[in-house]
Structure 1
Amino acid sequence: MGEEQLNINESLIFLQGFFKNPQRVGSVIPSSRFLAAKMIQSVPWNEVEAVAELGAGTGAITRFMKEQLNKSTKVLLFERDKRMRNNLKIAFPDFVCHSNACQLVKKMNRDGINQLDCIISGLPFFNFTSEMRETLLNQIIEALKPGGIFVAFQYSLQMKKKLAEELVIEKIEFVPFNFPPAFVYICRKRETL
């Protein structure tokens, strides 16, 4: 009953977040466990010393990620919705929570992190203005170490061209068992410019 109750509560919080700000939340329900598992399976977690999750929401992906982390891994969670962010702080007290992913580099530097090995993103990029999308991508590129991994899910392939301009897309996987079905982009920052 506890797990089921948690899922219902998370879904309600997520739904409220969506209706309050559909451009920022992007879906009416949290990510499925199938999507969460697909998001984290391409990352060599034993090599990850610092990671950020953008748009952590209710922690659906964060929970799967936490199981893979070394105890010493530094984790930054970014979530715009205040209620979801407060819940993340309670559920993951060892992780640092911030509100604005557009300030990724500033926040990680403030937390004593020079570069990230990996960034996981649940942000609905295509819902954002082109200016905000550009800012976020610039922050992601600057934050990642050369060869660093960027894993993002989207509900369409509309970001493929834009991501390919900035990163090496290693693969795109389709996850049908999610609502709505999603595409997972596994990308890498180029080693040299």
Structure 2
Amino acid sequence: MNINEHLLFLQGFFKEPKRVGSVIPSSRFLAAKMVQSVPWNEVKAVAELGSGTGAITRFIKPQLHESKVLLFERDKKMRNNLRIEYPDFPCYSNACQLVKTIHQEGIGQLDCIISGLPFFNFTSEMRETLLHQMVEALKPGGVFVAFQYSLQMKKQFAKAFTIENIEFVPLNFPPAFVYTCRKKEML
């Protein structure tokens, strides 16, 4: 990661701190933890929500086996940077339109969603919309991996998904919790 990406992230934070969530991008330790629990050999379609400057995308790319990757980033400058860095990964601005976007891309359902979104900073309405979109977009048994800076979203994540694991990553600023979840199977 270069100094320009750090500055881009910092600018995004000062412009919209509740949407960016941190003053610096995720550490390589957090990014590695985010991708390690995904069964990449089974992933045909994945979405990364809150891609930022690509700190986690960088770790996703080497894991892929002919998978379709969709990136979502609200900040226009960061989104443009992602389009340059990852020209093969379509990049969109609004994760609240996840289901519509995957259908436009010809994807029935996603195998995996990786999220760097600061859910707790959002309004309860926006959190509910995002969670609904993710549940609709994921296939039954699909993997949802997210990091948060606290355990405040645990209850809401547990309503929407089966939480398989929560790991603490101290080597990040701020330190973070990585949730590994699965979409509940249909009965």
User: Which residue does 1:185 correspond to in 2?
Assistant: 179
Instruction: Give SS of 1:174's match.
Output: strand
* Residue identity matched to 1:59: G
Instruction: Give SS of 1:27's match.
Output: coil
User: Which residue does 2:30 correspond to in 1?
Assistant: 35
**Quick one: distance in 1 between partners of 2:2 and 2:34?**
19
Paired residue total: 187
**Quick one: distance in 2 between partners of 1:150 and 1:44?**
11
The TM-score with structure 2 as length reference comes to 0.99
Q: Does 1:93 align with 2:50?
A: no
User: Which residue does 1:172 correspond to in 2?
Assistant: 166
Q: Does 1:52 align with 2:33?
A: no
Instruction: Give SS of 1:135's match.
Output: helix
Moved beyond 6 Å, runs of 4+? none
Instruction: Give SS of 2:112's match.
Output: strand
**Quick one: distance in 2 between partners of 1:28 and 1:35?**
15
Deviations 1:137-191 (A, max 9, x none): 0000000000000000000000000100110000000000000000000000011
Give unpaired runs (5+ residues) of structure 2.
none
Q: Does 1:130 align with 2:120?
A: no
User: Which residue does 1:3 correspond to in 2?
Assistant: none
Give unpaired runs (5+ residues) of structure 1.
1-5
User: Which residue does 2:13 correspond to in 1?
Assistant: 18
**Quick one: distance in 1 between partners of 2:21 and 2:165?**
23
**Quick one: distance in 2 between partners of 1:46 and 1:166?**
25
Report matched runs for 1:90-129 at 5 Å.
90-129=84-123
**Quick one: distance in 2 between partners of 1:183 and 1:19?**
23
* Residue identity matched to 1:34: F
**In angstroms, what is the RMSD of aligned CA positions?**
0.6
The TM-score with structure 1 as length reference comes to 0.96
Question: Residue 9 of structure 1: CA displacement?
Answer: 1.2
Deviations 1:88-135 (A, max 9, x none): 001001101000000000011001001000000000000000000000
Q: Does 1:62 align with 2:57?
A: yes
